[in-house]
Amino acid sequence: MSADLTDLSAGGERRATTLADLMTPSSIAIVGASDDPTRIGGRPLMHMLKLGFPGDVYAVNPTRDTVQGLPAYPSLSDVPGPVDFVLIAVPAKAVPGVMREAAAKGAKTALIFSSNFAEASAEGAALQAEVAEIARVGAVRVIGPNCLGLFDAGHNFYPTFTSTVERARPRAGGIAIASQSGAYGSHIFIVSHERGLGIRYWLTTGNEVDVQVAEAIRLMAEDESVHTIMAYAESIKDGPGLIEALEVARAERKPVVFMKVGRSEVGAEAANSHTASLAGEDAVYDEVLRAHGAYRARTTEEMLDVAYAARPRIYPAGRRLGLVTISGGAGVLMADAAADHGLDVAPMPEAAQAELKELVPFASPRNPVDVTAQFFNDLSIVPRFTKAMLDEGRYDGLIGFWTGVAGSPQLSPPLLAGLSEAMAGRENLFIQSLVAKPEVQAEYEAAGFPCFEDPSRAIAAMAALMFFGEAFAATPPVVAPLAEAPALPEGAVNEHAATALMRKAGIPAPRSEVVENARMAQHFANALDCSLAMKIVSADIAHKTDLGGVALNVDPEDAPRVFDEIMARVREKAPRAGLEGVMIAPMAGPGIDCILGSRTDPVFGPVVAFGLGGIFAEAIGDVALRRAPFDERVAGEMIRALKGRSVLEGARGAEGADLEALASVIARFSQLVAAWGDAVESVEINPLRAGPDGCLALDALIVRKEGA
Amino acid sequence: MSADLTDLSAGGERRATTLADLMTPSSIAIVGASDDPTRIGGRPLMHMLKLGFPGDVYAVNPTRDTVQGLPAYPSLSDVPGPVDFVLIAVPAKAVPGVMREAAAKGAKTALIFSSNFAEASAEGAALQAEVAEIARVGAVRVIGPNCLGLFDAGHNFYPTFTSTVERARPRAGGIAIASQSGAYGSHIFIVSHERGLGIRYWLTTGNEVDVQVAEAIRLMAEDESVHTIMAYAESIKDGPGLIEALEVARAERKPVVFMKVGRSEVGAEAANSHTASLAGEDAVYDEVLRAHGAYRARTTEEMLDVAYAARPRIYPAGRRLGLVTISGGAGVLMADAAADHGLDVAPMPEAAQAELKELVPFASPRNPVDVTAQFFNDLSIVPRFTKAMLDEGRYDGLIGFWTGVAGSPQLSPPLLAGLSEAMAGRENLFIQSLVAKPEVQAEYEAAGFPCFEDPSRAIAAMAALMFFGEAFAATPPVVAPLAEAPALPEGAVNEHAATALMRKAGIPAPRSEVVENARMAQHFANALDCSLAMKIVSADIAHKTDLGGVALNVDPEDAPRVFDEIMARVREKAPRAGLEGVMIAPMAGPGIDCILGSRTDPVFGPVVAFGLGGIFAEAIGDVALRRAPFDERVAGEMIRALKGRSVLEGARGAEGADLEALASVIARFSQLVAAWGDAVESVEINPLRAGPDGCLALDALIVRKEGA
């Protein structure tokens, strides 16, 4: 099923859709329109009549003459004029028929509220596939089924049965919301509205038979009235589509704040039982969102905070944060929070500190800059300190802590005037932490200052905007899969063959040979003429050491004897295992053992993981992850991302690894597995010995994809 | 200085103070009273006149006849009646004189607003010490100096110059706030007030010459009108005092929500420059607060959330969480958040699931329990599902997600009635996530349901209350320091002596001997008659292996030769090192190398850290920390707290360690270092080899405290 549906959204012509094509029609027909404005088929009509949708509205209901005062047509085909948009609120079984009519009518979009499709049963899934096929053939874009609808507040277009738009009439603004979940999407809308955010577009995608959250993000990013995008999803089916959408948003400098839920085991289980679509591995989502410039929010509050703080559309391109406060305690607290978010609370230059100290002897001019209660006596302190922080401190962003002072009728006006004076002609982001009535806060907002009551939330929002600043400034690197990737042999790949493939792909690995008898062992050992490692080769044996199948530091002249011993031990302990022989290779030099692996994520394709060997990767989870392919720069990032990186860098006087060689091998590996793509399930080099003069793949494992 | 001050707060008679003694007087004199109600010396008087403090109020001001309509006395001694409480708002230099008068007047408490004490200069520190001495001799408790004051809203007692109480007249409730920071304490008060919390007591401690946050917590815990305590501190001087306070609160079942700031390096620096008191190590605060049942909040919002959710005073004694939702998406999100907080979203029993499924076929009855939009059609679903979750699911706490439905005039009343019906006669904590007007939310609160708009915050608050439930149910273990702890020798302790001390203390360590010549080596090797480890003994050499000072797996008959080789190698490479000889010990058996160490925290005394050896402890920071002394149960917790615990438990078929023996050694070590107490700076066993049949201290290091 999913292959079909993916094709749909990836199809050529169908991609030409704009957001306006999809959700700003000039006419709508509601099939299953109800006279009762509290019913699913009645509410959208009521919204549009009440709020004044300017286009044509047709009600389709075979059992009535009129619906909510409009003439009712017995079927969609009976509607006289052209119909851009068809809203379908009839039982699942009747949906295919309506879809055929919609296609015949030349509708651009069909929105299906109805449930009882793939989320409910196998029968429903078949029905859903039928809907998909009709849509594809008829070139009708489909939203849903099993969704709550959408709105375009700019055109008073409200094909949704959520009751929230009644209590909270959307004010058009620069924000767009794309949500897989209807009820939770509705929650996001209402809390955004109460927060004062202007939501222009709201789109719920439900079962995503055609339009998915990923595509919605792309269309929103391409729409010029949208500045900021909030997205919520439990699963992503079209990984490349999501990446494309995020890159469009990045190119347009539009922040995408993304809640991908189902992070935990119980959460993923719940998502699965809820939407019947398996989530990919969470760490991969984390990485994909980060790498493509989307901010992953963990809570709805955080998502709203970021969207709200993005209102001035200033995205600082660095992480240097200046803090100015009337409370030393708040300064400490904000410095802690900044450290949690990886921001740099760098001190003011010494000279500037001395100047400020002269201005206010009690002040702490370092950063956090504590202007103290002295500010109450001399209101000029705020603009002077702020200017010094911008001119001398050269911070990428500022946060001010004023608590209830900003709510004081006497002190607030001069404070705001001072802040505004300092910022005149500047383009820096300055977030204020203050406690004031909404109307007072609105004055600060109008002057370009996002406001937070809680200083920790101000810091978190600043960190997110700095993330966007860095992401928008970064050029997405284009790295190709390995052109000269060696072909995979047919059938199973043993360790010897896997290691040889690595060598062919340009990843250093010891030259080895599989020998089948003592004479061959002698011959190859003589040729190598160095200390040897000897290992049993058998597809049936996972833990070679446990069965006595490994010998290390073997003298070349002992090779035939050791060959016989290994074969005898393994035959005795694993009499039924098929033995292909013994692999002989030179002993590797000293180094730090790492694990370099890839697996093919069902959503995002090959993903490379790198970590230290031993129990680090497994027990501690100290692993860096990137989508393949990538270059040495990204590989270097992966090395530095490890908590245990000091081991590779050379901890406590011990010799470290050749990090350049290591990065080069990691990058090349990523290009290799990208070239192999779907043909493999996973590839693992374990250990990859990272020595002081380069690194060596001592063992490799390639698991072919079943059927590939 | 600090020793003096600590003595003060620990003094016998002075400990008898109650919160009422300290901050609910029947009379107050304001020294430095101002006629201008906006000035520091005028504001408290204005507050108390306006808000009606029922006790006697005296104004002291030598330059005026009246102050704000009251007669002014030239000095405190001139005040006619008795004075319980003296508020001092005069320049620092004049404070000692006023303090002497206060003592002569028999005042119980002196509150000092004045700054320019220890936070400003050495001169100020001397002045502060003088104040402390006068207070001690005169038996006057001192709050401040350099603080913003306090209030007791139950008696309209407002000796504070914060302007926030004008804009937000405190409503007396069951919450008390203790804050080292004045300005931030003021912020905490105002945001609590706006949140609807009733703050009965508010106390800022400033420079803490006498009353510290720790003591304030104890007094608040002992006060029967207080239910919940919020605390904010940048540093704690009296560690044992804090622990005592937290244990009083635990015994009284009163939650303490604690913000200890200065967690990060920059934050700690800022705290230091701000209050001139060095913070102890942050991980130790984390552990002390956790171990003694206080919840450490990272943000003010979190602190308020927990205090707010504690209003019903229900502290679930387990971590099983039931989630009921009208949005599958919210269920997934809440399950994720619950996993982040270590809560157990256990599934409903199969039979109960089947029953619910019969009730609502579309529902997901597993947990999260998704009642779906079906609830709109049949309002009885909510009470029936809720009852099933309590009776069959036996969850320790429940969270419901209703979003804007609870704000709907049609749906909210039956929803609330259904929830109340289900909870009738039960004592379970049920938090609601909803979006509704304040007056509607108040109805839910009045019915005993704490309400949060953001579901993630609801989960976090539930996790905190479950933490309190577990902490209140736990009996604090009483463990004594090791009675038969071996005495520390005079002077430096070499490796051999340190290991021998461990053996004497009952911690298994190999029997070793330091030999000074080849003949002695032969003799001792013969006596041991097993494979040997030999190591150079020298106080001047840190990295023995690098200098060739270590030989392992030595055959006893080779011992004299190896002795000579070691001595020769080390003499050649480190000709100026003083060599005491070579230590000979039996080779230890196989096992997993761990690090077991202690250091004496300046605030909280000996603290034990346990981690895996190699780079785990250092590079990864995978270390468990507990205050010494403790028992085997706590030691077992430490082992299980490690991310790398699977190595000790036996990962991937490898043999694990004897965990019982390991826990026993860790506990004994904690009792040993507790017995040594301040005499040592740090003790380290590295490696502690944890084998399958017990563990062995292979090397030990004892660093004596300078001067101890």
pLDDT digits (tens, 9 = 90+) for A519-544: 999 999 999 889 999 999 887 887 78
Q: Do A263 and B647 touch (CB under 8 A)?
A: no
Question: Residues 85-104, chain B: which have Cβ within 8 Å of A?
Answer: none
Encoded tokens for B107: 């005042």
Average pLDDT over residues A6-17: 46
B234, B368, B646: residue with CB nearest A332: B234
Nearest chain B CA: its distance from A56 CA (Å): 30
Average pLDDT over residues B536-556: 84
Name which of A308-312, A461-465, B612-616 the model is least confident about: B612-616
Name which of A56-70, A610-624, B585-599 the model is least confident about: A610-624
Q: Which residue of A has its CA nearest to B180?
A: A329
- Quick check: A606 and A662 in contact, CB under 8 A? no
For residue B118, pLDDT over 80 is answered with yes
Q: Do A621 and B643 touch (CB under 8 A)?
A: yes
CA dist., res. B511 & res. A662, Å (int): 44
Q: Which residue of A has its CA nearest to B193?
A: A435
Q: pTM of the prediction?
A: 0.92
Tell me the pLDDT band of A263, cut-offs 50, 70 and 90.
confident
Q: Tell me which of B615, B622, B643 to substitute to probe the interface with A (most A C-beta atoms closer than 10 Å).
A: B615
Q: How far is CA A135 from CA A48, A208, B473, in A?
A: 26, 13, 61
Encoded tokens for A97: 């028929």
**Mean model confidence pLDDT for chain B:** 91
Digit-coded pLDDT (tens) for A137-169: 999 999 999 999 999 999 999 999 998 888 889
- Quick check: A88 and A58 in contact, CB under 8 A? no
Q: Do A329 and B620 touch (CB under 8 A)?
A: no
Q: DSSP assignment, residue A540?
A: T
For residue B660, pLDDT over 60 is answered with yes
Contacts of B299 in chain A (CB under 8 A): 337, 454, 456-457
Question: Residues 635-674, chain B: which have Cβ within 8 Å of A?
Answer: 643-647, 651-653
Nearest chain A CA: its distance from B342 CA (Å): 11
Q: Do A546 and B332 touch (CB under 8 A)?
A: no
For residue A280, pLDDT over 70 is answered with no
The pLDDT value given to residue A615: 62
Q: β-pairing, A550-554 with A592-601?
A: unpaired
Residues 6+ away with beta carbon under 8 Å from A11 = A136
Q: Do B408 and A366 touch (CB under 8 A)?
A: no
Q: Do B263 and A366 touch (CB under 8 A)?
A: no
Nearest to A389 by CA among A431, A346, A420, A328: A346
Total residue count of chain B as it appears in this document? 708
Nearest to A116 by CA among B518, B372, B702: B372
A270, A329, A403: residue with CB nearest B331: A270
Encoded tokens for B364: 């997901």
DSSP symbols for A651-662 = -TT-----HHHH
Half-sphere exposure of residue B580: CA atoms within 13 angstroms, side-chain side: 16
Residues 6+ away with beta carbon under 8 Å from A36 = A42
The pLDDT value given to residue B493: 82
Digit-coded pLDDT (tens) for A468-486: 999 999 877 789 999 989 9
A75 reaches B (C-beta below 8 A): no
Nearest chain A CA: its distance from B231 CA (Å): 13
Q: How far is CA B344 from CA B328, B392, B458, B466, B636, in A?
A: 18, 16, 15, 11, 21
Contacts of A370 in chain B (CB under 8 A): 274
Encoded tokens for B252: 């009284």
CA dist., res. A481 & res. A676, Å (int): 8
Name which of A337-341, B278-282, B304-308, B332-336 the model is least confident about: B278-282
The pLDDT value given to residue A4: 37
Q: Do A345 and B266 touch (CB under 8 A)?
A: yes
C-alpha R_g of chain A: 31
Question: Residues 324-343, chain B: which have Cβ within 8 Å of A?
Answer: 326-333, 335-340
Tell me the pLDDT band of A277, cut-offs 50, 70 and 90.
very low
CA dist., res. A383 & res. A431, Å (int): 15
Nearest to B634 by CA among B601, B666, B605: B666
Percentage of chain B beyond pLDDT 70 is 95
Tell me the pLDDT band of B615, cut-offs 50, 70 and 90.
low
Provide the b/e sequence for A146-166 (b: ≥16 CB within 10 Å).
Answer: bbbbbbbbebbbbbbbbbbbb
**Mean model confidence pLDDT for chain A:** 91
